Structure 1
Amino acid sequence: MCGIVGLFLKDKSLEPKLGEMLSDMLVTLTDRGPDSAGIAIYGAGDRNHSKITIQSADPAHDFDGLAAELGARIGGKADIVVKSTHAVIEVPTAKVEAARDAILELRPSVRIMGVGEVIEIFKEVGLPADVVKRFDLTKMSGTHGIGHTRMATESAVTTMGAHPFSTGPDQCLVHNGSLSNHNNVRRELRREGMTFETENDTEVAAAFISNKMAHGDNLGGALEKTLTDLDGFFTFVVGTKNGFGVVRDPIACKPAVMAETDRYVAFGSEYRALANLPGIEDARVWEPEPSKVYFWEH
């Protein structure tokens, strides 16, 4: 099962409502994935600063005093905003890799959800409505975002097993389906120096796309290569700093629907996830074709 949603805004006046609209789409698909949920929001940022989203099973312990300790360690200012079990730490972009390493040294139990100039990722075990409420997602603004409701079939119900998965700066992926060759691909990517937090096949797909983009492909090109190098059945929705992309495998057995107006592009595993979007009655609605890459960029 599992449910995927995505929303790419063309109309800036909708940006303050991005979190509200995405949250409604996500909760609508609760019965496709009731065990965990997550959302990636692409919001405000600048090239001089980067965000590191972290998660802790013991936030009271791990987040207390972290900003001061981290700032002292990297020799630069670190600001932290705590949201339940997650926190978003902002540091100078020039210090982001040093900050990432320092966080793991200072707080070994903390997990890094995502890193980038504009991305923030929030995901946890529980019903989508509870996850939305926990992180106050309805109040978040941004240019685009993706989300996922999970029904675990091949790995445990854990926070780290929830989607989205991020393996590159400002990049993340959600997935509905199953990959048959993910262990082989994981081994190949490890030889190139990539690391993995889980045994989830979706993390491998995220790493594969990130690797291709790091080697010069744009989002469209990286998604094209999933069709030749990844085996199985899948629908991928990917977010990057500037864009939003969708691809389905050649069989396309997983449900998917898209809608586009002059104000937004939306994706849902089912149409009902899109039904409350403004102007949906006038949208061009279609089912994405198998083996065809769709992507939009600002």
Structure 2
Amino acid sequence: MCGIVGLHLRNPELHPRLGELLGQMLGEMQDRGADSAGIAIYGDPTWSPAGQGCVSLLETGVGAAELDAATAAVGAALGSEVAGRLVDDTLVLSAEVDSEILLATAITVYPDALVAGFGADLTVLKGVGAPRDLVQAWGLSNASGWQGVGHTRMATESAVTPSGAHPFAVGPEQCLVHNGSFSNHATIRRELRAVGVEFDSENDTEVGARFVAHQLAQGKDVETALKEVCATFDGFYTLLVSNHDSFAVVRDAIACKPAVIAETDDWVAMASEYRALAHLPGVADARIWEPEPEVVYAWTR
């Protein structure tokens, strides 16, 4: 079943409340998927300092006692100062270098780590367990920023592990969350592997994320990439895709997976059900609608 939430803040006065608002949205979707969850936060000054490359890693084996040594090891390999933080089980690294350089260096130190996400302005957290519990463990209510995406998962296509949790953030500043299933993902995975694309899981959603990232890397914009998804993928899906300056939603041709969008002068929000939006400030005056099949809805910062 799964639950999707997303919040794009237009009013800078709301930026300090991003984590609080997104956490409430995610909690409302817990009964749509209580086995794991994940979030992507754009613009938190502590997790992803402005002007720095950022990387979020899982499965590093680093705990609080090892944090300083782990950070120093990455800094030594990079030849530059690195800041490291543990957010529950996620090692969040930042440095004054391009995020892809920081990522490549971090992987030499932790070759078996799962890359949860990378990019300037972006932190991605994933975990196994009830979404409301994870929101507390992450301290999400203290996070700020200009955009956030979240997902609660009911596993159908792969194991309940951090690698199977959404968002899938496989390109710089990019992430994708998905409610539904792709019926031809195995074929598309083989085609992408044939052109050199690597995968971390057997999750069908990762195929969608890798496909979109591949389209963007070829110079296409998000709207065009999502139109290519509609032309290429079979199945039932609602997708929310975000990157460094945009926020986009699309549904399949039948549109059987629920979705609702709300928009005000202060924000744009999307969720699988309206109850996840009901607490947002000014929602009583919002324009609210259900996205049409195969229509790409996109907003730019």
> Shorter-chain TM-score: which interval?
over 0.9
The match for 2:223 is 220
CA distance in structure 1 between the partners assigned to 2:181 and 2:9 by the alignment: 29
Residues 58 and 3 of structure 1, relative CA distance in 2, 3 Å threshold: same
SS in 2 for 1:14: helix
| 1:91 paired residue number | 95
Amino acid at match of 1:10: R
Q: Secondary structure at the match of 2:144?
A: coil
Q: Is the 8 A contact 1:59 1:84 kept in 2?
A: no
1:11-30 pair list within 5 angstroms: 11-30=11-30
1:48 Cα deviation from its structure 2 partner: 4.6
The match for 1:255 among 255, 258, 268 is 258
Extract unaligned runs of 5+ from structure 1. none
Separation of aligned partners in 2, 1:98 and 1:25: 34
Q: Structure 1 CA distance, aligned partners of 2:94 and 2:281?
A: 33
SS at 2:169 equivalent:
strand
Asked if 1:81 corresponds to 2:74, the answer is no
Q: Over residues 162-217 of structure 1, what are the superposed CA-to-partner deviations in whole Å (9 max), with x where a residue is unaligned?
A: 10001100000000000011111111212222111000010110111111111111
Provide closer, same or farther for how the CA distance between residues 135 and 264 of structure 1 changes in structure 2, counting only shifts above 3 A.
same
Deviation, 1:57, is 6.2
Given the alignment of the two structures, is residue 205 of structure 1 paired with residue 208 of structure 2, yes or no? yes
Q: SS state of the match for residue 141, structure 2?
A: helix
Equivalent positions of 1:147-162 (< 5 A) are 147-162=150-165
Query: What's the counterpart of residue 39 of structure 2?
Result: 39
Identity of aligned residues (%): 47
- More displaced, 38-47 or 128-137? 38-47
Distance 1:156 1:57 in 2: 19
SS at match of 2:164: coil
Gaps of 5+ in 2: none
Instruction: Tell me, yes or no, if the aligned pair for 2:52 and 2:97 is still in contact at 8 Å.
Output: yes
In the alignment of these two chains, the number of paired residues is: 297
Residue 100 of structure 2 contacts residue 119 of structure 2 at CA under 8 Å; is this kept in 1? no
Distance 1:48 1:286, change over 3 A: closer
Using the TM superposition, give the Cα deviation of residue 63 of structure 1 relative to its aligned residue in structure 2, in angstroms: 3.8
Q: Work out whether 1:100 is the aligned partner of 2:89.
A: no
Alignment of 1:1-298 (within 5 A): 1-43=1-43, 44=45, 48-56=51-59, 58-60=61-63, 63-94=67-98, 96-298=99-301
1:238-275 per-residue CA deviation (whole Å, 9 max, x = no partner) reads: 11001100000000000111100111011010010101
In 2: Cα distance, 1:171 partner to 1:136 partner: 23
Quick one: distance in 1 between partners of 2:221 and 2:123? Answer: 21
The CA deviation at 1:83 is 1.1
- TM-score if structure 1 supplies the norm length? 0.96
**What TM-score does the superposition give when structure 2 sets the normalisation length?**
0.95
Using the TM superposition, give the Cα deviation of residue 120 of structure 1 relative to its aligned residue in structure 2, in angstroms: 0.4
Q: Distance in 2 between matches of 1:291 and 1:231?
A: 12
Q: How far apart are residue 98 of structure 1 and its match?
A: 4.1
Contact 1:55 1:85 in 2 (8 A): yes
Instruction: Supply the distance in 2 between the matched residues of 1:30 and 1:176 (Cα, whole angstroms).
Output: 13
- For 2:19, give the aligned amino acid: G
SS in 1 for 2:294: coil
For the Cα contact (< 8 Å) 1:47–1:93, is it kept in 2? no
- Runs of 4+ aligned structure 1 residues displaced above 3 Å come to 44-48, 61-64, 96-99
Residues 47, 93 of structure 1: CA spacing in aligned structure 2 closer, same or farther, 3 A cutoff?
A: farther
Query: What's the CA shift for 1:92?
Result: 2.8
One-letter amino acid of the counterpart of residue 79, structure 2: G
* Whole-angstrom CA distance in 2 between matches of 1:57 and 1:126: 19
- In the TM superposition, what is the alpha-carbon distance from 1:105 to its structure 2 partner? 2.9
Structure-2 separation of matches of 1:257 and 1:97: 34
